Amino acid sequence: MRLRHTVIPLTITALTAAASPAQAGYFKGEAIDSGAQIKQLGGLDVARDGSGAVAYVKSDGGTDHVFVSRLVSGTFQPPERIDAGLSAAGSAPAVAASDGGKLTVVFVNGGQVYAVVRPIGAPAFSAPQLIAASGSAPSVDMSINGVAYTSFTSPGGSAADVRVARLNRDTTSYAMLPDVLDIDPARDAGTGSGASEVAVSADGTAVVVWGEAGHVYGRRVFDGRISVAPQDLSVDQLNGHAGNTASATDPHIDIEDDSSFAWVTFRQSFDDGRSHTVARRLVGSQFEAPVQVDGVGFGGDEATSTNIEMNGRGEGLATSGTAAKGAYVSLLHDDTFFAPALINQPNNVAPVPTGDLAENNEGLAAWMQGTTPQTATVHAVGYDIDLARRTVPAPLQDTELSNPDFGPVDVDAGLEAAVDRVSDAIVVFVQGIGDGRRLVSAGFDRKPGILSTSTTARYRKLRRPQLAWSPSFDLWGPITYRAEIDGVAVGESRTTRLPLATDLTDGVHSWKVTATDRRGQTAVSKAGLLKVDSTSPALAFSIAGVKRAGRTLSVAAKVSDPTPGSGLQRVVIAFGDGGRSVSSTAKHVFRKRGSYTVRVSATDKAGNVTVVKRAVTVKKPNKK
């Protein structure tokens, strides 16, 4: 029987001992962009195929503008300003990515909401498209099939409204939906910490959540229309504690590939006067019972931030930061949240934890940590959810991701994390001050996948056989392959083939291939065998008997291999009159007199052939 929507009471606390060296695969901060002009991180998204982008705000010519750096093969590309032609200040960029390098960014410029799109294979982003003449706090998400929605807050007639626009998979322009999502258009919606968030499923439908009048609401969006059945997620009670239903805020959502299922987290106050993180699951058109996922009891600490991320099957994690500077993670497996685990060490800065889980059920959570904001760093722990077990996996080793050479982390500039389908992970933040300020990426780069030799292990006569092997899987290539024969390197290749430059001696050789990614991580094939026999067999033969027509002659071949080799494949005796025998000895009768050439060939298993010929004169038969 499946457990559903419960918290399994098992808490795992992160070690407070000094961290040991980082695990293989983690890499510290690398600069995406640098300079005092960098202001604020906007958004980060990574598609399942490893492509993606980070969007951020940077001063250009004395005015804030929106920049994007695309993620290609694991490397961030030179920044591109995407609000070119717009002279007003830009802010609040949100980005979404889909396979093939498709990207969309929604942002605010001069109080107006704009979007750009970069289709698959396009050389540049589209020109900024005006979506709304006034708006703020945009959110954007894109399905695996390239359909995107953006939600944002827009001033209405008497109050702020939540609006939605849709991007079809085969277009570069958003279409605004005519209706607002608000429950009561006369009340402010989507303002402050109640800003909206949208999630899009594989079939191109979406769910939007937002705060309105102290409640959190959720509403489905179908193509060009909105659901007529919005849901109030605020709860009357949680774990026996009465809820303040006018205090819900900070909504976040993620959705499965199947649009029937989504999870929402938000914060709400209860009878202890403190805010707690609540998670609720959307099934069809209804939200199920609430679950507490913040890791704090009632009457003590309280939640100050929350987030939820899932893969396409609904495996994921919820993160919560608390007033006591704790960072908690609650893993979601089989529709069940495990008990939240404290993952950080004693802390004096708001951890604002975030994370993501890949399609292979591996991922990470990241947070900020420090005794003071001036000494803040970014840390991460990895996770691996085993589908076969019902126990919560312990977080992997605490690893510092920030680069000590770049200075302190700007705790107010933002922290974002995202993964591809095989758990390559990117964590983005800002480090340094003044001219040493940098937009930084760090994270986890999965080492190259297994590979195997494929050149035949049969004997061949080639002294320079072409080496071949299977490709090593790596979404964030490129991969460099190095081949070794008998422990000696013989060449490198970016493909899965390598012709040899020097001859091999006859005999059996051991060889292997090492795949190395751009970070120096390696995978080594099992040893294969190269069997070389380039020496032809030694051959001699004799002919015995009376060389007259009608009489029987015997041919006997003597074959040997001068060096250890592949062994004899066959001996063929051709008598020159059409007669033929596949054997090393044979008897033959010539029917007519004449001159014949007896040809004996010996072929070894590597394909080497030796041929010996001898002329035979056959006389006419004796008269009786």
Residue 580 CB burial class (10 angstroms; 0-12, 13-18, ≥19):
middle
**pTM for this entry:** 0.87
pLDDT in tens, 172-225: 999 999 999 999 989 999 999 999 999 999 999 999 999 999 999 999 999 889
For residue 608, the Cα-to-chain-centroid distance in whole angstroms is: 48
Out of 66-75, 149-158, 400-409, 551-560, least confident range: 149-158
Q: What is the Cα–Cα distance from 532 to 192, expressed in whole angstroms?
A: 74
Tell me which CATH code domain 538-618 carries: 2.60.40.10
Return the CATH fold of 459-532.
Answer: Immunoglobulin-like (2.60.40)
Out of 2-6, 131-135, 239-243, least confident range: 2-6
pLDDT in tens, 45-84: 999 999 999 999 999 999 999 999 999 999 999 999 999 9
Q: What is the Cα–Cα distance from 378 to 402, expressed in whole angstroms?
A: 5
Residue 268: per-residue pLDDT: 97
The percentage of the chain sitting over the pLDDT mark of 90, rounded to a whole number, equals: 89
Closest CA to 455 of 516, 392, 532, 557: 532
DSSP string spanning 519-549?
TS-EEEPPPEEEEE--PPPEEEEEEES--BT
Domains 459-532 and 538-618 share a fold: yes
Name the residue ranges covered by the structural domains of the chain: 459-532, 538-618
Q: What is the mean pLDDT of residues 529-548?
A: 95
**CB 365 within 8 Å of CB 415:** no
**CB 437 within 8 Å of CB 38:** yes
